[in-house]
Structure 1
């Protein structure tokens, strides 16, 4: 009877030690993954946010529009088209007034006719790696709002924060 009790006690102590060891290991692994507490809830801002645009919009787009939304995409990006379609649908539903230009990495002349219509006021412009690097684009799609004074007021890989900034028609 005593031996059974001692075996049970030894098994409980072993499982407690094993559980404590697993918790310590997972805690160490989580510290490698999770940002320190001072960064929780913060996003790293794009380096050009609230800075002058590296390219003058008149030179890039040959237009004098006051506000331009640049949507950087890549022909190799599988989720760029769905993201763009969702943005265009939201723009249409909310009747948002914004001039759009798609800056298409690896684009061809034939790509300029994609999404061309009178409602969206949208242009597709093939761009090279040099322009992508000038705007410091690291992922696609990427949305950049350039104001009339050529200052970048919005820069993110998703348009969610734009909706409250855009005026309705």
Structure 2
């Protein structure tokens, strides 16, 4: 009888130690995936937000629009095309009036066809590492709104942008 009780206590202790080990391991893995605790609740802001564009956008795009959306993408980015498709669908549904261009890192002429459709007249501009560095882009896709040569929006997703764009 004592040996059965001792065996049960040993099994409970082993299960408890294994559970604690799994919890510690998962906690370490989660720290690699999500922001550290000190960043929770803090707004991470792009360093150029509310500052002048590092490159005159009207010169770059050869346009005189006061409001211009730059969508930085990379040919090797698996999220860029779905993000752009979602943006185009939302733009169409909400009838948003915004001039935008796609700045394609490592882009070649044949890569432009990935983004081309007959309904949307969008500018696709191949850019190099210098342009990416000038705008301090560290991830793709990245949406930057420039209004009167001042960066008014900068984020890896366009969700906060929709309220800033007027409808047609």
> Is 1:111–1:124's contact at 8 Å kept on the other side of the alignment?
no
Q: Which residue of 1 aligns with 2:163?
A: 164
Distance (Å, rounded) in 2 between the aligned partners of 1:163 and 1:4: 66
**In the alignment, which residue of structure 2 is the partner of 1:99?**
99
Which residue number in structure 2 is paired with residue 115 of structure 1? 116
Query: Matched residue pairs, number?
Result: 166
Once residues 31 and 111 of structure 1 are traced to their aligned partners in structure 2, the CA distance between those partners, rounded to angstroms, is: 36
Post-superposition CA distance 1:34-79 (Å, at most 9, x none): 5443321334221111111101122211211110000112223233
Aligned equivalent of 2:45 = 45
Q: CA deviation at 1:4?
A: 2.9
Distance across 1 between alignment mates of 2:146 and 2:13: 64
Q: Which secondary structure state, in structure 2, belongs to the residue aligned with residue 163 of structure 1?
A: helix
Give the C-alpha shift of residue 116 in structure 1.
6.9
What is the alpha-carbon distance in structure 2 between the residues aligned to residue 83 and residue 127 of structure 1? Answer: 19
Shift of 1:125: 1.6
Do 2:143 and 2:157's aligned partners in 1 also have CA atoms closer than 8 Å?
yes
The runs of at least 4 aligned residues of structure 1 exceeding 6 Å deviation read none
- With normalisation by structure 2, the TM-score equals 0.80
Please list every run of 5 or more consecutive structure 1 residues that lacks an aligned counterpart in the other structure. none
Q: Would the aligned equivalents of 1:112 and 1:123 in 2 still touch at CA under 8 Å?
A: no
Q: C-alpha root-mean-square deviation of aligned residues, in Å?
A: 2.8
Which aligned pairs between 1:33-72 and structure 2 lie closer than 5 A? 33=32, 35-72=35-72
TM-score of the superposed pair, with normalisation by structure 1: 0.80
> What's the counterpart of residue 151 of structure 1?
150
Q: Contact 2:101–2:122 (CA<8 Å) still a contact in 1?
A: yes
User: Against the structure 1 CA distance between its residues 18 and 121, is the aligned structure 2 distance closer, same or farther, given a 3 Å change threshold?
Assistant: closer
Give, in angstroms, the shift of residue 98 of structure 1: 0.7
Unaligned runs of 5+ in 2: none
